[in-house]
Amino acid sequence: MRSLKIEALRALTDRIIGGYRLKPEDPEVQELLTQPLAELQQEAGRLQKHFCGNHVDFCTIINARSGRCGENCKYCAQAACHHTGCEEYGFLSKEEVMKTAKADQDAGANRFAMVTSGRALTGSDFEKALDIYRAMKKDLTIDLCASHGIISREQFRRLREAGVTSYHHNIETSRRYFPQICTSHTFDDRIRTIKAAQAEGMCVCSGGIIGMGETWQDRLDMAFTLQSLGIESIPINALMSIPGTGMEGRKPLPAEDILRTIAIFRFINPTANIRLAAGRKLLPQNGATALLAGASASITGNMLTTSGTTIKEDMEMLKELGLTNH
């Protein structure tokens, strides 16, 4: 498989800046897989600079209801079919969520998300979530994001009315590979949920996990599915395999593969926020180099079931890189 000459890669970058969007059948797409990484990162950085400027979007999450999930996603510590010793608890109190959201806001985060385990948040727990979102909307200035599974259009309408502006719902991988990681719901269930959120005027944050045994073609297919959905925020998680899950013992991806994925996603989705998520610690300087080579956003603070990075450390890193989240 050949790669593009640097002049041809620069020309491709210029075409994308001029409005062209890559298609799955374009020969250049396959050539990005073998492009020298430094060249690819340099041009991904140029695209990022053009479309995102010096801005980096920082979001934080709180695990608002944990464990005992009836779905069977192979990578997940919270699936009831896995025995991971992950913490299990019901919906957190309004006071606890508000306290965390205010601390994250004061530390400089741009947005805050409540994430809940389970196929869908319904019934009294959904009402609790709405009540907390309304309170955050009233008392805080941080943007509100939600991640509550496969919910209905009516629920999206109510979330929007409560002050939520974006919804997180990963497609996780390619359509081809999805049945290898989850059989309790389908790829189309995920797509339908995303479209329902968009129909209610929400910005959707959707990406996936790499390092689960998928091929490079699966990664490309995932990027093009996200492109076709018009996704504006794309988290890229590198699998941190958790003992007791269906991914136990799987070796972490080399940093080069993660960095190449981020750069390629920038070429395919040039205007989106490509977001560093789980697995940042696998990258050089905890992801600092990636934030200059395609990634324009990051989850900060703690992850769901793996430890993250403190917001303060991330704010200092931005300063050193000459970037800003304001």
d(CA 17, CA 292) in angstroms, rounded, equals 17
Confidence tier at 307 by pLDDT (50, 70, 90)? very low
Least confident of 45-49, 176-180, 205-209, 268-272: 176-180
Q: What is the DSSP letter of 284?
A: G
- 294 near 236, Cβ under 8 Å? no
Q: What are the sequence ranges of the domains in the chain? A: 47-321
**Chain length of the chain:** 326
Q: Kindly state the tokens that stand for 235.
A: 């988290």
Burial of 301 (0-12, 13-18, 19+ CB in 10 A): buried
Rounded-to-5 percentages of helix, strand, coil across the chain: 45, 15, 40
Confidence tier at 83 by pLDDT (50, 70, 90)? low
Crossing angle for the helix pair 255-268 and 216-229, nearest 10 degrees? 30
Q: With pLDDT > 70 as the criterion, what percentage of the chain qualifies? A: 90
- 258 near 238, Cβ under 8 Å? yes
**Is pLDDT above 70 for 263?**
yes
What global pTM score does this model have? 0.92
Q: For position 122, what pLDDT does the model report? A: 87
**Is pLDDT above 60 for 80?**
no
- 195 near 169, Cβ under 8 Å? no
SS3 assignment, position 313: helix
Q: With pLDDT > 90 as the criterion, what percentage of the chain qualifies? A: 72
Least confident of 56-60, 247-251, 280-284, 291-295: 247-251
Q: 20-49, pLDDT tens digit by residue?
A: 999 999 999 999 999 999 999 999 999 999
Q: For position 180, what pLDDT does the model report? A: 86
**Is pLDDT above 50 for 304?**
no
- CB under 8 A, 24+ apart: contacts of 63-66: 63/115, 63/117, 63/304, 63/305, 64/91, 64/92, 64/97, 64/114, 64/115, 64/116, 64/129, 65/89, 65/90, 65/91, 65/92, 65/116, 65/117, 65/118, 65/121, 65/125, 66/117
CATH topology of domain 47-321: TIM Barrel (3.20.20)
Q: 86-121, pLDDT tens digit by residue?
A: 667 789 999 999 999 999 999 899 999 999 877 889
